[in-house]
Amino acid sequence: MSYPFKINSLEQYYEDYKNATDNPEAFWANVADNFYWRKKWDKVLDWNFSEPKVEWFAGAKLNITENCIDRHLEKFSDKPAIIWEPNNPDERTRVVTYARLHKRVCQVAQMLKNNGVKKGDRVCIYMGMVPELTYAVLGCARIGAIHSVIFGGFSAQSIADRLDDANADFIITCDGSYRGDKIIPLKDVIDNALVGNKTIKKVIVYTRTRTSVSMIKGRDVWWEDEMDIAEDQVEKNGVVSFPAEEMDAEDPLFILYTSGSTGKPKGVVHTCAGYMIWTTYTFVNMLNYNQGDIHFCTADIGWITGHSYIVYGPLAAGGTSLMFEGIPTFPNAGRFWDIIDKHQVNILYTAPTALRSLMSFGDAPLLGKNLSSLKTLGTVGEPINEEAWHWYDDNIGKNKCPIIDTWWQTETGGTLIANLAGITPSKPSWATLPMPGVQPIIVDEKGDEVTKLDDQGMIKGNLCIKAPWPGILRTTWGDHERCRLNYFATYPNLYFTGDGAMKDAEGNFRITGRVDDVLNISGHRIGTAEVENAINMHTGVVESAVVGYPHDIKGQGIYAFVIYNGHHGDENQRRQDISLTVAKIIGAIAKPDKIQFVSGLPKTRSGKIMRRILRKIAEGETENLGDTTTLLDPDVVAEISKGRV
């Protein structure tokens, strides 16, 4: 497969950027011509950010799985679509060709149909990183069911909230999943999530760990049994088929929940055509993907990075996507490098937090590992510090591979700002230039564009985007007003990212981090309000305030100030109980790194917690805590500062 929309030179980047800005409809129609449509569009783009309303390729009919699979079958049926590397290196690698992927996805679609799933139904997927997870995602897309993948680290309560919000009808899960030397009992978590649930009709359970599970007659069925039945239905005389549902361009493809500044995660909705084009276009261009390259994205499919750059982008491009079940440090810190050596990986796309963690093991895990197949290195999810950037460049890329720093969000569907590997220049810790079709601007508090360089030669402020690109979110599930308020109301006629940024005189962007109350813990997004709600669920807790602080490996850590009124246990016992409460309400990823017990919180006379002060204390600042005169009780600040943990 060739990619006529691939950018091959710096000049072409500037030319394409200009064309996509000046005439987006013609530009994206041209890109869209490289995909398979049942019927082409009536109108390329219709939008306003005030409702907001964004429609790309309205009137077009397609099914994304025909683009990710069927259209590759003629030439690439034997080509690996997915290479799967298990958690335990002693277990067998699995190579899934496009022909095999087609068969499995048809089977899943048939299995879902047999179990009553229809177009538009919401199917929750809670599985480990097994190939069957990809089959499940694509099987949903094939029959037009809306998938909602939930990361395997979320608790029963988090799942219950998400099932409820989406009014989900079906679940696909595993008995358990392997994670390093641990087994996570996924089906057991689902059972707990389903206590009191009234909407779920069926739970399909794939066997991975042979962990014992309870199976409720009439509700729970085994994946293997159902897939056997489906196999006979989709395969006749050696020919496999399951007709893909014809979808409108703007029909929802999936929901993915993500945290914001309120206590309740929101369901970001992406639609079929625009998302497909954006993920494919950005995948090929930012990573400089060429036919035959082996692409290893280390994310989990439970997050947007996995959706866009393990499943949809690489497969729509007819690529080979390496899917890894385990963690970077099991059985040892050489695991990534072994995988790259073993499969001759060409592209590594990972998170700064993983690099920082691997860096701390020194050179030993790299000894004897042949990494010469690597051509492109990428990072995603959080700002990358210069030290990690240079370690990546020196030790992994041996100064021969371009490093791309890709900035984007669950809401943006795919990358918005990144250097293009080997095409546009890189700058350590800078995401650099916007993709064609992306018009970022930096605004001040009032929403006015900042145009004047400061004395360091920079423009600084809040990052917004002026016009829609094909992959922008369309709504938040069940609550369009929430989508408007969250992203389109802060500054009129702009999409507000929630990030702060700076821009240099050459137009390069550096993302400096969230300006709202959202934390980025190891590249995972968690709202401070969410963590506070969970801490406050603990019987002994009166009130709490959560802030982020710089953490060497995770990027940010969670620091909780807690007013406690119970009698149970000593301080450490209480800390553990509070952590366990958070793990039950959200999941282990949201456990506070530090808990400080305090007698009061710094509040204004109107009762608002002054997080600015708490942030400074958490960062270790004792002197310049800023103006505390407006506080109800200024003395509390000195006490908190003294008791820092």
Q: How far apart are CA 105 and CA 491, in angstroms?
A: 43
Considering the complex, state which of residue 193 and residue 519 has its C-beta at the smaller distance from ligand WT7.
Answer: 519
Provide CB contacts within 8 A for 109, sequence distance 6+: 139, 142, 143, 242, 244
Q: In the bound complex, what is the minimum distance in angstroms from residue 266's beta carbon to ligand WT7?
A: 11
Which residue of 163, 203, 244, 431 would you call a contact of ligand WT7, by CB under 6 A? 431
Choices 24-32, 78-86, 190-198, 400-408; region in contact with ligand WT7 by CB under 6 A: 400-408
Report the alpha-carbon distance of residue 599 to residue 597 in Å, rounded: 7
Nearest Cα residue to 13 out of 285, 340, 356: 285
In the complex with ligand WT7, the residue whose CB is nearer, 408 or 561, is 408
Closest CA to 363 of 399, 394, 404, 402: 394
Residue closer to ligand WT7 (CB basis): 525 or 616: 525
* Shortest Å, Cβ 346 to ligand WT7: 21
Stretch that binds ligand WT7, among 44-52, 147-155, 376-384, 630-638 (CB under 6 A): 376-384
Residue 409 in the binding site for ligand WT7 (CB under 6 A): yes
Residue closer to ligand WT7, measured from CB, 278 or 408: 408
Q: End-to-end distance of the chain based on CA atoms, in angstroms?
A: 56
The interface region with ligand WT7, picked from 168-176, 315-323, 401-409, 439-447 by CB under 6 A, is 401-409
The span of 95-103, 185-193, 234-242, 494-502 binding ligand WT7 (CB under 6 A) equals 494-502
- Phi and psi at residue 546, in whole multiples of 5°? -120, 135
- Decide: is 165 part of the binding site for ligand WT7 (CB under 6 A): no
Of 115 and 410, CB closest to ligand WT7: 410
The residue (of 304 and 310) whose beta carbon lies closer to ligand WT7 is: 304
Taking CB under 6 A as the criterion, the residue among 312, 337, 408, 469 binding ligand WT7 is 408
Does 498 bind ligand WT7 (CB under 6 A)? Our answer is: yes
β-bridge mates for residue 443, sequence order:
449, 462
Contact assessment for residue 443 and residue 450, using Cβ atoms and an 8 Å cutoff? yes
Nearest distance from residue 46's CB to ligand WT7, in Å? 26
* Total Cβ atoms within 10 A of residue 101: 24
In what order do the strands lie in the sheet containing 403-406? 94-97, 80-85, 320-324, 294-297, 347-350, 376-380, 403-406
CA distance 22 to 90: 54
Q: Which stretch binds ligand WT7 (CB under 6 A): 277-285, 377-385, 485-493, 577-585?
A: 377-385
309: left (phi over 0), alpha (psi -120 to 50) or beta: alpha
From the list 407, 477, 495, 561, which residue makes contact with ligand WT7 (rule: CB under 6 A)? 407
Residue 258 sits in the site that holds ligand WT7 (CB under 6 A): yes
- Taking the complex as a whole, how short is the minimal distance between the CB of residue 420 and ligand WT7, in angstroms? 14
Cβ proximity to ligand WT7: between 340 and 417 the closer is: 417
Non-local (6+) Cβ contacts of 80 within 8 A are: 95, 96, 97, 320
**Rule CB under 6 A: is residue 380 a binding residue for ligand WT7?**
yes
Q: Whose CA is closest to 549, among 541, 557, 537?
A: 557
Mask for 282-321, x = binds ligand WT7 (CB under 6 A): ---------------------xxx----------------
Phi, psi of 77 (to 5 degrees): -60, -30
Task: Write down the least CB distance from residue 556 to ligand WT7, Å.
Answer: 10
Our measurement of the distance from residue 166's CA atom to the centroid of its chain's CA atoms, rounded to an integer in Å, reads 18
Q: Which of 410, 439, 490, 544 binds ligand WT7 (CB under 6 A)?
A: 410
Give the interface segment with ligand WT7, choosing from 142-150, 220-228, 408-416, 546-554 (CB under 6 A). Answer: 408-416
Segment near ligand WT7 (CB under 6 A); pick from 124-132, 318-326, 358-366, 492-500? 492-500
Q: How far apart are alpha carbons 567 and 199 in whole angstroms?
A: 40
Confirm or reject binding of residue 353 to ligand WT7 (CB under 6 A): no
Per CB under 6 A, does 555 bind ligand WT7?
no
CA distances in angstroms from 429 to 353, 384, 404, 405, 509, listed in the order given: 14, 5, 10, 7, 10
Q: Are strands 347-350 and 294-297 parallel, antiparallel or unpaired?
A: parallel
> Both tokens of residue 239?
């020919």
For ligand WT7, the binding residue among 55, 293, 499, 517 (CB under 6 A) is 499
Q: Is 597 helix (H, G, I), strand (E, B) or coil?
A: strand
Provide the minimum distance between the beta carbon of 554 and ligand WT7 in the complex, in angstroms, as a whole number. Answer: 13
Q: If you search the block for the tokens 């000195």, which residue do you land on?
A: 638
Q: Which of 112, 323, 511, 610 is in the footprint of ligand WT7 by CB under 6 A?
A: 511
Considering only 24, 328, 381, 434, the residue that binds ligand WT7 (CB under 6 A) is 381
Q: Which amino acid is at 188?
A: D
**SS in 3 state form for 512-566?**
EEECCCEEEECCEEEEHHHHHHHHHCCCCEEEEEEEEEEECCCEEEEEEEEEECC
Q: Going by DSSP bridges, is the β-strand pair 80-85/320-324 parallel, antiparallel, or unpaired?
A: parallel
Count of positions on this chain that bind ligand WT7 (CB under 6 A): 23
Q: Is 544 in the site for ligand WT7 (CB under 6 A)?
A: no
Strands 220-222 and 202-206: parallel
Whether 116 and 231 have beta carbons less than 8 Å apart is answered as no
Q: Which is nearer to ligand WT7, 27 or 151 (CB)?
A: 151
Site map (CB under 6 A) of ligand WT7, residues 208-247, x = contact: ----------------------------------------
Q: Provide, rounded to whole angstroms, the least separation between the CB of residue 360 and ligand WT7.
A: 21
Minimum CB distance to ligand WT7, residue 97 (Å): 29
Strand partners, 434: 417
Query: Closest approach of Cβ 408 to ligand WT7, in Å?
Result: 4
Report how far apart, in Å, the C-alpha atoms of 275 and of each of 56, 306, 367, 378, 390 are: 10, 14, 41, 21, 33
Residue 503 binds ligand WT7, judged by CB under 6 A: no
Alpha-helix residue ranges (DSSP H) falling in 371-519: 386-391, 480-483
Site string for ligand WT7, 512-531 (x = CB under 6 A): -xx-----x----x------
Q: Which of 66, 382, 517, 532 binds ligand WT7 (CB under 6 A)?
A: 382
Residue 304 CB, shortest distance to ligand WT7, in Å, is 5
- Distance in Å, CB of 518 to ligand WT7, minimum: 7
Q: Quickly list DSSP for 250-318.
A: TSEEEEEEE--SSSS-EEEEEEHHHHHHHHHHHHHHHTT--TT-EEEE-S-TTSHHHIIIIIIHHHHTT
Q: Which residues bind ligand WT7 (CB under 6 A)?
A: 258, 303-305, 380-383, 405-410, 431, 497-499, 511, 513-514, 520, 525
